[in-house]
Amino acid sequence: MYDPTDPRSALVTTTQTRAVALDAPIAAPAYTEFDETPRIDDERSGRTWVVRGQNFVVALSRLAPGQVLERTAQEHEYVLLLTAADAHVVVEAAGECREIRGVAVVVVPAGDSSVRACAEVEPVRLFDDRSTDLAELAVNAADYAEPHARVAPLQPWPAPAGGDRLRVYRPDEVPAEPGRFGRIYRTRSFMVNFLEPFDGPRPRNKLSPHHHDDFQQCSLAVAGEFEHHIRTPWTPDMDQWRPDEHRVVGSPSVAVIPPPTVHTTRACGTGRNQLIDIFSPPRADFSERAGWVLNADDYPAPPGEEPAATRGDGAA
């Protein structure tokens, strides 16, 4: 039930097409406040925290000037998020070298790559679950010893136009636009949405509780404080029922919200509150909205998932 002012209220409602047993377990929501969980310390590559979902791995690092994050023989592209205005790094990959300052979404192609800090910086890297070496390092790796039955497996989307290369996108340079939800970018494995920041708490009467049939939502808090409200539906097995959750988290933190829980998140910090939503694979419903995916020309959708205006079927 979206608030009428929420752009998602215009989404076409879809029904579950993937068969899932009625008694299939519904996973519990999971929260990771990075400063309170184990980390990996290394003199060359700084401090790194790793957490995962079914199809993705989130690695948050804290780097001092000169420290470097490297990947050798990486088999698939990954995403680098710079979330602070004072971020400053140099990224090398596929024969390119880019100096990047400020907020950015960076797609790093497969192969050898490095991210070198030019100032104190807190980069976030997103890998899909095929990067098994990182998935095994996740603080919650044991939670995924068996696949979650209600989460659809990752099927990578089509290859980018013009082939794999280093790509840099600038969310802060994109003004808010009525009817568009956040600032959305997609790759073959990810959809990343820089939501509009809240200055102070979100109004209590403007929430949008909703659910997803078969994909997890990863909500990355990078500034401020948030309260995640999550309700687990009842199944025929009463032993699987859970009380409602109202979990307050700070930044940086990750909430992994499982399907088909009903959820909404309220910014509750007194200052600037910034949330980034992450999905793997990309969302078809968001992709079907004309103008929502800002790099759609670079990363095409599968046939039938592109905006209606592009398909020419006359739908809005």
pLDDT band for position 274 (50/70/90)?
very high
Count of domains observed in the chain: 1
Q: Model confidence over 72-120: pLDDT tens digits?
A: 999 999 999 999 999 999 999 999 999 999 999 999 999 999 999 999 9
Q: Would 188 be classed as within a structural domain? A: yes
| Residue 293 is assigned to a structural domain of this protein | yes
Say yes or no to pLDDT of 158 above 60: yes
Does any domain span residue 135? Answer: yes
In percent, the amount of the chain with pLDDT more than 90 equals: 87
* 316 lies in some domain: no
Query: By residue range, what is the domain housing residue 87?
Result: 7-311
Residue 1 belongs to a domain: no
Residue 230 domain-assigned?
yes
Predicted confidence (pLDDT) per residue in 30-78, tens digit? 999 999 999 999 999 999 999 999 999 999 999 999 999 999 999 999 9
Whether 77 is covered by a domain: the verdict is yes
Q: What DSSP letter does each residue of the chain carry, written as one string?
A: ---TTSGGGGSPP----S---TTPPPPPPEEEEGGGS--EEETTTEEEEEEE-SSEEEEEEEB-TT-EEEEEEE-S-EEEEE-STT-EEEEEETTEEEEEESSEEEEEPSEEEEEEESSSB--EEEEETT-HHHHTT-TTGGGGSS--TTSPPP---PPPTT-S--EEE-GGGS---TT--SEEEE-SS-EEEEPPPEESPPPTT----B--SS--EEEEEEES-EEEEEEPPP-S-GGG----EEEEE-SSEEEEE-TT-EEEEEE--SSEEEEEEEESS--HHHHTSTTTBTTTTTSPPPTT-S-HHHHTSS--
- Would you say the pTM of this structure is higher than 0.85? yes
Q: What is the pLDDT of residue 304?
A: 78
**Residue 208 belongs to domain with CATH number:** 2.60.120.10
Is 191 among the domain residues?
Answer: yes
